[in-house]
Amino acid sequence: MAKEPAGESGLPASLEMAWGLRERPGKGPRPTLTLARIVDAAVALAAGEGMDAVSMGRVAKELGVSTMSLYRYVTAKEELYILMADAGVGTPPDPSGGEGAGWRELLSEWAYAQRAVLMANTWILRIPITAAPVSPNQLAWMERGLAALAGTGLHEGEKLSTIILIGGLVRNEATMAADMIDAMMKSGVAPDVAMAQYLRTLRLMTGPDTHPSVTRLLDSDAFAGSGEPDFQFAFGLGRILDGLAELISSRSRPTP
């Protein structure tokens, strides 16, 4: 089916509807099928059965309508994916520190909030990123991240690069966690049992002569954890923020 030409916004009709630029397609009596119902049905499928279950035909079946009727609202599955991800991430929470919070606190909250959303809706991680964010909620998250850096002295391009870097850490860490959880669930092996087996395998396959660094790691308490459930994420985010703090500080130093 040919796509409906984009309006002045350059967005497909479905995304213009998400922004409130179009009420609904076509003319005549208001239909019972809406874009919101289509997206809700697709999200419910993804949450219950995974992204592999989401297709235009399956969504139509869940709604009790013909597949062709969906194309009056969403002209391609890729558009539906964008709308699903936008619904899944929702709007970013307000900063807990209020106006007095510093950039580091604001960015940390922003990062942890994103991570919580992705871990609660891991199906979002299975949607490939094919374009820059253009949907309402995604841009609200971008706005919140950029606003956290106001007054830091960073150039706008540096602010953008910062939130891309932190967003990449969030997505990568959440994806790794989701993949490991999925693998353990499919294997039926408890996490502590799987880790114990992994350590036994490492000790059998390595040694101080061939893998001295790995051996030192195994002899340490690194795999026992630091007592903090989110240690790996907190460590990575902290190092990014440390580097950013140095850059921000350097902007306020007098030039020799």
Residue type at 7?
G
pLDDT given at position 225: 60
Q: Give me the residues of the chain with pLDDT under 70, please.
A: 1-7, 23-31, 98-99, 225-229, 253-256
pLDDT attached to residue 42:
97
- Kindly state the tokens that stand for 232: 């790996």
pTM for the full predicted model: 0.86
| pLDDT tens for each residue of 186-216 | 888 888 888 889 899 999 999 999 999 999 9
Residue 109: predicted pLDDT:
96
pLDDT of residue 120: 95
Tell me what pLDDT residue 31 has: 62
Report pLDDT for 5: 47
Contacts 24+ apart (CB under 8 A), 102-107: 103/148, 103/149, 103/150, 103/151, 103/152, 103/248, 104/241, 104/244, 104/245, 106/147, 106/148, 107/145, 107/148, 107/149, 107/162, 107/166, 107/241, 107/244
Predicted local distance difference test score (pLDDT) of residue 227: 55
Which pLDDT score, from 0 to 100, does residue 256 have? 57
Contact of 13 with 4, CB cutoff 8 Å: yes
Question: H helices then E strands: how many in the chain?
Answer: 11, 0
| High-pLDDT (> 90) share of the chain, % | 64
Tokens found for residue 29: 């009596």
pLDDT at 192: 83
Give the per-residue pLDDT at 1: 44
Q: Are 81 and 39 in contact (CB under 8 A)?
A: no
- Please tell me the predicted confidence (pLDDT) of residue 23: 65
pLDDT value of residue 180: 85
